[in-house]
Amino acid sequence: MGRKNRFNQGYNQQQFNQVNDLTVTSTYNQNVRQYYILGEHLGSEGRNLEFKAGPGFLHNGYRENVSKYICAFANSRENGKLLLGVLDNGEVHGYSCTHQDEDKIRRDTDEAMKVISPPIFPEYYAVRFVPVVDDYQNVCGNTKVIEICLNGNQLTTTEVLYSTKKGSYQRRDGGTHELTPYEIQEWVKQRYVGEIEKLEKNEQNLQSDLQSRLSINRQLEEKMSEKNEKLKQMQFENEKLSYEITQQKRENQQLLAEIQDVRHLSKSEQGNEEPTNCTYMEDNQRCCRIFMDGYDWAATRNQTDLIKHVY
C-alpha cells in the first residue's frame, strides 16, 4: 500500500509516526491500541485475553461464541478482551471487513450480550475495529483486528452467576471453562456461606451494640432511681417543714390571743390605763413578757399569775 492509499483510509499521519507508541488509556481501564502491526506477536492468552483467527468464529455461531467468552469474563469479575484476527500463538493476521461488516458485527455483538443473563448493558462493553499496518506503517486495506472489550470489574451485579442458554462459563488461565452442575452448586454454596458469615458478624455487632445500650439504660435507670429517692426525701422534709410552720403559726396565734387577755387584765388593775410603747417578747419558759411604760410585765400561759417588774 502506498501513501495515497493510507490517507484514503482516513487515518491521521500522526497515528503512524511511532511504531513503539502502541497504547493509550481508555475509559474501560484497558490498553487501547491505535493499530496493530501485521505479523507481530502479542504474547499468550490469559485470564483476561482470548485470541481468535476470525473467519470460523465470525461465520459459525458468532453470537453464541461471543456470549460464551463474555460470560466467562463477567464471572471472573475482571476486565476481558476478545481479539478477532489474532492466531492462537498471538500472531496478528487481521480480518478483512468492510463498513457494512462492521455494522453487522456490532449488531450481532449487541444481540449476543442480550443472551447473557443477567444482561450486560452497553456501558460495560465496547466493540472496536483497529487497523492493521505493515512494517512500513502502511494500512493493509480493510484488514483489522476486532476487539470486544468487557469492563468486568465495574459490573454492578456481583452476587449472581452469569450464564447463557448453553450454560455458565468461567475464565481459567488461558481458557474458558464450562461450569458443571456441581461447580455451580459449590459457587452458590460459597456465596451463601459468605452471606451467612456476613449476617452472623452483623448479628454479633448488633448483640454487642444491644448489650452496650442495655448497660447504658441500666445506669440511667439507677441514676433516675437515686434522683427519685432524693426527690421523695425532699418532699417528705418539705411536708414536715410545712407541718411545723403550720403548728408554729397556730401557737403564735394562740400566744397573741393570750397576750390580748393579759393586756385586758392589766388595764383592769391599773384603772383602765392604756399602756403605751408596748413591746412583747417570749422567753425560754414559754411565758409572755410584756414591756409597757417602763414596767416589765410577765404572764404565764394559764394567765393565773401576773408579775410586775420595774423596767
The last residue of one of the domains, among 179, 195, 228, is: 179
Residues 47 and 123 in one domain: yes
Rounded to whole angstroms, the Cα distance separating 14 from 137 reads: 11
For residue 125, which of 171, 79, 169, 164 has the smallest C-alpha distance?
Answer: 79
Residues 76 and 122 in one domain: yes
Domains in the chain, number: 2
Residues 156 and 216 in one domain: no
Q: Which domain holds residue 286?
A: 211-310
What are the phi and psi torsion angles at 36 (to 5°)?
-115, 150
Would you state the cell numbers that stand for residue 33, as one nine-digit string? Answer: 491500541
Residues 26 and 173 in one domain: yes
C-alpha distances in Å from residue 159, one per residue of 128, 162, 172, 186, 198:
29, 10, 20, 14, 14
Residues 17 and 164 in one domain: yes
Residues 173 and 231 in one domain: no
Does 293 map to a domain?
yes
* Residue type at position 15: Q
What are the phi and psi torsion angles at 38 (to 5°)?
-60, 125
Residues 126 and 38 in one domain: yes
Rounded to whole angstroms, the Cα distance separating 201 from 162 reads: 28
Rounded to whole angstroms, the Cα distance separating 62 from 60 reads: 6
Residues 175 and 224 in one domain: no
Please tell me what DSSP assigns to residue 43. Answer: -
CATH of the domain at 51: 3.30.950
Residues 166 and 229 in one domain: no
Residues 248 and 156 in one domain: no
Tens of pLDDT, residue by residue, the chain (311 residues): 333 333 333 333 333 333 333 333 334 444 678 999 999 999 999 888 999 987 888 888 999 999 999 999 998 887 899 999 999 999 999 999 999 999 999 999 999 999 999 888 899 999 999 999 999 999 999 999 999 999 887 887 667 889 998 899 988 876 888 888 888 888 777 777 777 778 888 888 898 898 889 899 999 999 999 899 999 999 999 998 999 999 988 888 888 888 888 877 777 766 555 444 444 444 444 445 544 444 445 544 444 444 444 33
Residues 220 and 139 in one domain: no
Residues 130 and 230 in one domain: no
Record the pTM: 0.55
Rounded to whole angstroms, the Cα distance separating 247 from 253 reads: 10
Does 231 map to a domain?
yes
Query: Which pLDDT does position 302 carry in this prediction?
Result: 44
Does 259 map to a domain?
yes
Rounded to whole angstroms, the Cα distance separating 38 from 32 reads: 17
